[in-house]
């Protein structure tokens, strides 16, 4: 079925030209264009684009001097902070492969990811590193570089800040490395369509986390797709710099939602998340936006910053917006500067969407994507009156979406639910070291997402179910199998299943259904402690329900759909 352009934004190009450049060229491009524009504001520290480029080049030189080579995996174990951006662009500059290591992971989970990726360099925070120090002996990590949020404070304002730098013996200090190295990294040839930029860890559709292999071209293409979707322009190379080319007669300030080098974004989406590093780091940098960066989310701090900096762009999962619209003083904040409030990673409840539409005079739009397609595949149109409530929008430039029958894989007509399949320049190269898993989800260029949905007659996509078993808690993916495997380690557990319970505050909360072995006794609190002590906080089981028998199919497979239905019925009764 041909792509449906029936509701394509008027005057928008239907296709883009994607330059074959490394990801670092996005920063270099903006630093050449607007070197003195503020790139990052963080707890009083300001960095211009020119300064960010120089610092990242110095760090690239330092990594190269330490022996980091093209193809080496470098793990970044940091919250959002300037050092994250510096490290990210620095490692990519010398051909390293970015491996995000969430600070929320338990030591066991961090060890698994480090071993699976084969990371040889770890960049960590002074407050986080002690928690994973003991698991490094059984990984390939050869060198550890540490930094501190206190490194961002000047001598003058340090007394006002609650943090001080914690010395970490036997690690390399990031600031010292940057200071001691010049802005002269070695020239490393990058083949954008073949060389990897990211190993983006995801559970995919089933099983333990695995890494989506994203090339430099994947990342650059997705950044341009999203940026030009909102600007309605085309990328064009002029004197070696990518510029935005508009149709004749178009005034960006009057006719377009966003403009290059003019916007200010509040960035709290974690850069260790696919949506964060692509949408709220690379996309912002390519567009020349000023990023007001937060290491954690506090609703009052966020709203205050929106007013103080006259923020024009907000974005994140629904769990960002729920505490905002429910803030007791929400109506007192002047948010008239906001042009776009984007939502992704999880479905946005209609009640929350309604409050957002009332609060923001600009665009409130949902998009859809997954790590296997870099970040984004669809977005609602960049005009308020063209957004379809409940939809995640239209396929982006050069992106196709089809719906297939789950059993036969035959393409289905509009209105019929089936598996969502995506084709486009942002689709991953495959799963790291997992050819069999790759073959299951990449078929003739199509990514089989495992998500269920349908297209309407206008080409808008609707998500009607999630990946078969995955739970989305506050925008984070929780994979039931991981929790079930830990549950099965308890001697009293005979059978178990973990599903998500719908919760307006967090999205879904993990709930375990458990059948005990005959003659065994254990409390729900004991089982929760057994699991929760071994996993990240956002994955913790919130409730245990004991059953004499779990519902199973004829093949003996637990029917999780029935368990979720039971939870919904209990909540409504």
pLDDT at 300: 96
* Pairwise CA distance, residues 463 & 345, whole Å: 12
pLDDT on residue 467: 60
Distance in angstroms (rounded) separating the CA atoms of residues 424 and 446: 8
Examine the pLDDT at 68 and tell me if it is beyond 90.
yes
Closest among 106, 80, 478 to 276, alpha carbons compared: 80
Q: Which residue has the higher pLDDT, 102 or 469?
A: 102
Q: How many other C-beta atoms are found inside a 10 Å radius of the C-beta of residue 218?
A: 28
Reported as a pLDDT band with limits 50, 70 and 90, residue 465 is low
Lowest model confidence (mean pLDDT) among 119-133, 206-220, 414-428: 206-220
Tens digit of each residue's pLDDT (9 = 90 or more) over 108-142:
999 999 999 999 999 999 999 999 999 999 999 99
pLDDT at site 554: 42
Q: Is the pLDDT of residue 379 over 50?
A: yes
Task: Give the model's pLDDT for residue 351.
Answer: 67
Better-scored residue on pLDDT, 183 or 439: 439
Q: Note the pLDDT of residue 205.
A: 43
**Cα distance between residue 521 and residue 33, in whole Å:** 67
Helices 24-33 and 216-231: crossing angle in degrees, nearest 10, is 50
pLDDT tens string 236-283: 888 878 889 999 999 999 999 999 999 999 999 999 999 999 999 999
Specify the 3-state DSSP secondary structure of 145.
strand
Q: Which residue has the tokens 């701090």?
A: 301
What's the confidence (pLDDT) of residue 447? 98
Across-strand partners of 13? none
pLDDT band at 158 (very low <50, low <70, confident <90, very high): confident
Written as six digits, the tokens of 455 are: 């297209």
Residue 556, pLDDT above cutoff 70: no
Query: For residues 503 and 141, which has the higher predicted lDDT (pLDDT)?
Result: 141
Q: How far apart are CA 230 and CA 80, in angstroms?
A: 25
Separation of alpha carbons 311 and 303, rounded Å: 10
- Condensed to tens digits (0 to 9), the pLDDT of residues 383-392 reads 999 999 889 9
State pLDDT tens for residues 230-246: 999 999 888 878 889 99
pLDDT of 207 higher than 60: no
- What is the per-residue pLDDT for 355? 79
Give me the residue label for tokens 């377009």.
Answer: 256
- Residue 276 DSSP code: I
Mean pLDDT score across all residues of the chain: 92
Residue 517: CA atoms inside 13 Å, Cβ hemisphere, count? Answer: 9
Q: What is the pLDDT of residue 9?
A: 96
Average pLDDT estimate for 305-329: 90
Our measurement of the distance from residue 82's CA atom to the centroid of its chain's CA atoms, rounded to an integer in Å, reads 18
Q: Among 139, 92, 146, 94, which residue's Cα sits nearest to residue 119?
A: 139
Tell me the CA distances in angstroms from 155 to 45, 151, 161, 162, one per residue in order: 12, 10, 11, 13
pLDDT score of 555 more than 50 = no
Q: Domains along the chain? A: 24-377+427-436 (3.40.50.12780), 471-572 (3.30.300.30)
Q: How large a percentage of the chain has pLDDT more than 90?
A: 75
CA–centroid distance for 376 within its chain: 10
């Amino acid at each position: 079925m041909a792509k449906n352009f029936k509701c394509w934004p008027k005057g928008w190009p239907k296709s883009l030209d994607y330059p074959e450049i490394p990801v670092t060229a996005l920063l270099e491009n903006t630093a050449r264009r607007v070197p003195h524009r503020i790139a990052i504001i963080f707890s009083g520290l300001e960095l211009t684009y020119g300064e960010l480029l120089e610092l990242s080049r110095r760090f690239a030189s330092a990594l190269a001097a330490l022996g980091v080579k093209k193809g080496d995996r470098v793990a970044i174990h940091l919250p959002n902070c300037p050092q994250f951006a510096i490290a990210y662009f620095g490692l990519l500059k010398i051909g390293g492969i970015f491996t995000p290591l969430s600070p929320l992971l338990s030591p066991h989970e961090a060890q698994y990811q480090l071993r699976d990726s084969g990371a040889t360099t770890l960049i960590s925070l002074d407050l986080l590193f002690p928690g994973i120090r003991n698991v490094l002996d059984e990984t390939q990590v050869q060198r550890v570089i540490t930094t501190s949020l206190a490194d961002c404070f000047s001598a003058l304002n340090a007394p006002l800040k609650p943090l001080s730098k914690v010395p970490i013996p036997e690690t390399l200090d990031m600031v010292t490395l940057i200071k001691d190295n010049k802005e002269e990294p070695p020239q490393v040839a990058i083949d954008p369509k073949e060389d990897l930029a990211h190993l983006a860890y995801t559970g995919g559709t089933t099983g333990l986390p695995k890494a989506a292999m994203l090339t430099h071209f994947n990342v650059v293409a997705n950044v341009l797709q999203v940026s030009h979707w909102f600007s309605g322009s085309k990328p064009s190379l002029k004197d070696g710099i990518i510029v935005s080319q508009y149709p004749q007669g178009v005034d960006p300030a009057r006719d377009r939602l966003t403009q290059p080098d003019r916007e200010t974004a509040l960035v709290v989406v974690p850069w260790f998340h696919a949506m964060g590093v692509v949408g709220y780091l690379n996309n912002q940098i390519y567009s020349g936006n000023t990023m007001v960066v937060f290491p954690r989310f506090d609703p009052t701090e966020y709203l205050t910053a929106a007013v103080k900096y006259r923020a024009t762009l907000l974005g994140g999962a629904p769990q960002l917006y729920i505490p905002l619209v429910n803030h007791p003083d929400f109506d007192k904040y002047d948010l008239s500067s906001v042009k776009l409030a984007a939502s992704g990673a999880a479905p946005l409840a209609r009640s929350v969407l309604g409050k957002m539409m009332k609060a923001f005079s600009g665009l409130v739009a949902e998009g859809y994507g997954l790590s296997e397609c870099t970040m984004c595949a669809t977005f609602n149109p960049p005009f308020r009156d063209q957004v379809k409530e409940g939809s995640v929008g239209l396929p982006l430039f050069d992106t196709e979406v089809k719906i297939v029958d789950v059993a036969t894989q035959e393409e289905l007509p509009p209105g019929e639910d089936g598996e969502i399949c995506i084709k486009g320049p942002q689709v991953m190269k495959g799963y790291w070291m997992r050819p069999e898993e790759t073959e299951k989800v990449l078929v003739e260029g199509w990514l089989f997402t495992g998500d269920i949905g349908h297209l309407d007659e206008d080409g808008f996509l609707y998500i009607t179910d999630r990946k078969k078993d995955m739970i989305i808690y506050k925008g984070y993916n929780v994979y039931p199998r991981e929790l079930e495997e830990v549950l099965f380690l308890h001697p009293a557990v005979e059978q178990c299943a973990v599903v998500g319970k719908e919760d307006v505050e967090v999205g879904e909360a993990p709930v375990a259904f458990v059948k005990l072995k005959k003659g065994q006794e254990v409390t729900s609190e004991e089982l929760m402690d057994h699991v929760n002590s071994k996993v990240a906080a956002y994955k913790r089981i919130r409730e245990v329900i004991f059953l004499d028998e779990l519902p199973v199919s004829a093949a003996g497979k637990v029917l999780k759909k029935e368990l979720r239905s039971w939870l919904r019925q209990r909540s409504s009764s």
